[in-house]
């Protein structure tokens, strides 16, 4: 039969394998890099026969996204075989590929530790060097049960018993047999570029009622160069870890014993977020928003009316006051709707744009809390736009302009996606279709590319999500624009149209940076805590050579403060080099050194945090330099840090 492979048409015999067909069509180097084959959208092992009637066959290379998933899943099997050889009696459960790696959960006499990694990796290298083949076989369910019962593999038995199938697929790698759908690499030799990374405890099937298993995480790539790049990124991520830098720079801390998942902001960190909050408020006022604030507690009946109680209550906290049940707000929209509904509105009044840096609380499991990136109490740069249906697309475009400006300001590239109706939702299909189409039309008017995220919308409406990419090439979901026809209906929001009749507005829920805590954590890791001068809590530090310059240092500080700059003095009885180095470690943009020469000339010796020396400068020159540096990022897009 004739089959097409990479624009080549070849003739293969009946029952020919995918490997045979690919080897005929591809160069030797390309074929050696094949992990699997794709036929009619189905991934197949290379050893599989080409399906009858197939017209085309695509190679799946080991360095492609699909190929890497297969490679990492195969590496998990290699690790399991190595563990079984080194630790006899260990039982295996599941070992999937995950984003950027793989893991396997083991039931073992003692939990594994990183000290076990060298021996396990050495055995894995032996397996990959031998290029042991992966062999697939289909067997009756009863035979698979008998096999794993004989081996005492209770976890595999439990999985198979729950399968509604007459046959199951098994993969053999050496003496290790695993239950698996596949596909897998043709042999273990293609999984040589791997590394074991960490260990963790994991309850079987995620339930604390079950036994705690020992999980080993690893990663794998198609070649050593890609692996080395990834490992370097991991080391850089450790160096930039916002929790570590937050402590070192005295920005914030956590006290999990008294307030798990909640941040204690120290003076420098609080100043940083205050600068950010002030900037956001001013930027919103420039764009026609009005500042509002709602209460932290609202009666449960209100959350029932909105649908939050039925669809979101597992993420909420509730309390009782004088016999009444109250919900601590996880979001700000309900209060904003009540503010809108407090007065009659005309079509001429719309759109109404309410903005609030609102503190919200959401219940998160303790196991997922992670510094600033996952907390239980946080502040959203939240806003709600209530508008006429004919204004909707323009309002979405206005929000997208703010997304663009803020992400550009902080140096983030970003991707957009439209998240559609989830299984758990409120509102009619017609309302969802109107809302989804409005979001898509706005993006298409802007000519912006987007991805559809099926079923990822909020329970009350679809949304545009903005995912930023940081300097370590990690994606973070930050901005969201949610289009909602349903809550205005539930809360009977209205306006008087030009026909004198009552009409229903549409509401946009939106956040740009999202959680300020989370965004600051992302920004710290993106910039390694080297904040732009306009945002850094301490813009200048004045250091002296000896106590003779102390009075002049204090006067210099006063002059900088009078110009609105943030400056501190270091008058410690330490050597100059020590104090300059301390300022650099604290990532202070400008270091003003004062010695006898500077004191006599009424000047300072100016140094930058990168180590450059700008020489002697008058105080007025220093002020102008810092102000210009602070203003520089705002020259694009009509933004301005100096708000008047």
End-to-end CA separation in angstroms for the chain:
76
Which residues of 167-293 form beta strands (DSSP E)?
Answer: 167-173, 176-179, 193-203, 212-221, 252-254, 263-265, 290-291
CA distances 513 to 74, 335, 355, 467, 510, Å, are 39, 21, 13, 10, 10
Answer yes or no: 30 catalytic. no
State the Cα–Cα distance between residues 212 and 207, nearest whole angstrom: 9
**CB within 8 A of 607, min separation 6: which ones?**
580, 590, 591, 592, 593, 613, 614
Long-range contacts of 366-369 (CB under 8 A, 24+ apart): 366/260, 366/261, 369/256, 369/260, 369/261
Catalytic choice (284, 509, 518, 617): 509
Cis peptide before 351 (omega within 30 of 0): yes
CB 193 within 8 A of CB 124: no
Catalytic choice (34, 333, 387, 483): 333
State the Cα–Cα distance between residues 238 and 145, nearest whole angstrom: 44
The b-or-e profile of 381-399 (16+ CB within 10 A means b, else e) is bbbbbbbbeebbbebbebb
State the Cα–Cα distance between residues 439 and 368, nearest whole angstrom: 31
CA distances 337 to 292, 294, 458, 506, Å, are 11, 10, 17, 11
Catalytic choice (45, 178, 381, 382): 382
* Torsion angle of the four alpha carbons 46, 51, 57, 60, in this order, in degrees rounded to the nearest 10: -30
* DSSP label at residue 535: T
Can you state the angle between helices 267-286 and 516-527, rounded to 10 degrees? Answer: 110
Pairing mode of beta strands 590-594, 540-544: parallel
State the Cα–Cα distance between residues 441 and 431, nearest whole angstrom: 15
State the Cα–Cα distance between residues 457 and 463, nearest whole angstrom: 6
Answer yes or no: 77 catalytic. no
CB 243 within 8 A of CB 260: no
CB 218 within 8 A of CB 195: yes
Catalytic choice (85, 345, 362, 374): 362
How many angstroms from the chain centroid is the CA of residue 487?
Answer: 28
State the Cα–Cα distance between residues 641 and 644, nearest whole angstrom: 10
Answer yes or no: 361 catalytic. no
Catalytic choice (84, 85, 195, 380): 380
Answer yes or no: 478 catalytic. no
As a three-state string, the secondary structure of 26-52 is: CCHHHHHCEEEEEECCEEECCCCECCC
Catalytic choice (195, 273, 353, 463): 463
Answer yes or no: 187 catalytic. no
Answer yes or no: 518 catalytic. no
State the Cα–Cα distance between residues 591 and 606, nearest whole angstrom: 6
State the Cα–Cα distance between residues 348 and 495, nearest whole angstrom: 9
Answer yes or no: 242 catalytic. no
Catalytic residues: 333, 362, 380, 382, 384, 463, 509
């Amino acid at each position: 039969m004739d089959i097409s492979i990479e624009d080549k048409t070849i003739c293969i015999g009946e029952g020919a394998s995918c490997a045979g067909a690919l080897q005929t069509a591809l160069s030797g180097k390309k074929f050696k890099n094949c992990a699997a084959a794709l036929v009619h959208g189905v991934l197949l092992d290379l050893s599989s026969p080409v399906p009858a009637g197939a017209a085309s066959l695509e190679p799946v290379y080991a360095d492609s996204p699909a190929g890497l998933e297969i490679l990492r899943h195969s590496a998990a099997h290699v690790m399991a075989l190595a563990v079984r050889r080194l630790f006899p009696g260990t039982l295996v459960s599941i070992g999937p590929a995950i984003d950027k790696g793989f893991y396997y959960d083991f039931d073992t006499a003692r939990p594994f530790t990183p000290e076990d990694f060298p021996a396990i990796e050495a055995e894995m290298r032996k397996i990959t060097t031998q290029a042991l083949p992966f062999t697939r076989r289909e067997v009756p369910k009863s035979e698979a049960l008998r096999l794993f019962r004989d081996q005492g593999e209770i976890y595999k038995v439990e999985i198979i018993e729950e399968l509604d199938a007459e046959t199951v697929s098994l993969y053999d790698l050496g003496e290790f047999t695993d239950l698996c759908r596949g596909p897998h690499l043709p042999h273990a030799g293609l999984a040589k570029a791997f590394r074991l990374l960490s260990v963790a405890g994991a309850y079987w099937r995620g339930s604390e009622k079950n036994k705690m298993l020992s999980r080993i995480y690893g990663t794998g790539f198609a070649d050593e160069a890609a692996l080395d790049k990834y490992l370097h990124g991991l080391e850089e991520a450790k160096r930039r870890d916002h929790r570590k830098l937050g402590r070192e720079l005295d920005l914030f801390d956590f006290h999990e014993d008294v307030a798990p998942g909640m941040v204690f902001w120290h003076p420098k960190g609080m100043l940083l977020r205050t600068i950010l909050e002030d900037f956001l408020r001013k930027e919103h006022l420039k764009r026609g928003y009005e500042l509002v604030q709602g209460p932290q507690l609202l009666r449960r009946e209100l959350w029932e009316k909105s649908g939050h109680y039925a669809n979101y209550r597992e993420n909420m906290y509730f309390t009782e006051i004088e016999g009444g049940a109250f919900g601590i707000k996880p979001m700000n929209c309900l209060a904003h709707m009540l503010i809108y509904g407090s007065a009659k509105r005309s079509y001429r009044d719309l759109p109404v744009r309410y903005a609030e840096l609102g503190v919200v609380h959401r219940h998160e499991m303790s196991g997922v809390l992670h510094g600033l990136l996952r907390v239980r109490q946080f502040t959203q740069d939240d806003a709600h736009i209530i508008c006429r249906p004919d204004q909707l697309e323009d309002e979405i475009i206005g929000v997208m302009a703010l997304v663009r400006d803020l992400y550009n300001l902080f140096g983030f590239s970003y991707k957009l996606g439209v998240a559609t109706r989830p299984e758990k939702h409120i509102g009619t299909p017609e309302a969802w279709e109107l809302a989804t189409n409005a979001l898509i039309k706005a993006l298409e008017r802007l000519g912006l590319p987007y991805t559809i995220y099926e079923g990822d919308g909020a329970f009350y409406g679809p949304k545009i999500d903005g995912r930023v990419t940081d300097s370590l090439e990690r994606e973070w979901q930050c901005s969201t624009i949610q289009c909602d026809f349903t809550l205005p209906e539930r809360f009977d929001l209205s306006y008087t149209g030009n026909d004198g009749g009552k009409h229903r507005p549409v509401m946009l829920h939106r956040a740009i940076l999202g959680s300020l805590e989370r965004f600051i954590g992302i920004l710290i890791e993106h910039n390694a805590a080297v904040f732009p001068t306009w945002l850094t809590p301490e813009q200048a530090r004045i250091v002296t050579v000896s106590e003779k310059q102390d009075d002049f240092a204090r006067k210099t500080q006063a002059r900088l403060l009078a110009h609105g700059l943030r400056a501190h003095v270091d008058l410690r009885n330490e050597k100059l080099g020590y104090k300059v180095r301390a300022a650099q470690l604290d990532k202070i943009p400008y270091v003003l050194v004062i010695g006898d020469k500077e004191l006599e000339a009424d000047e300072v010796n100016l140094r930058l945090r990168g180590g450059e020396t700008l020489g002697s400068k008058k105080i007025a020159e220093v002020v102008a330099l810092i102000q210009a540096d602070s203003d520089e990022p705002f020259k694009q897009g009509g933004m301005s840090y100096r708000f008047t």
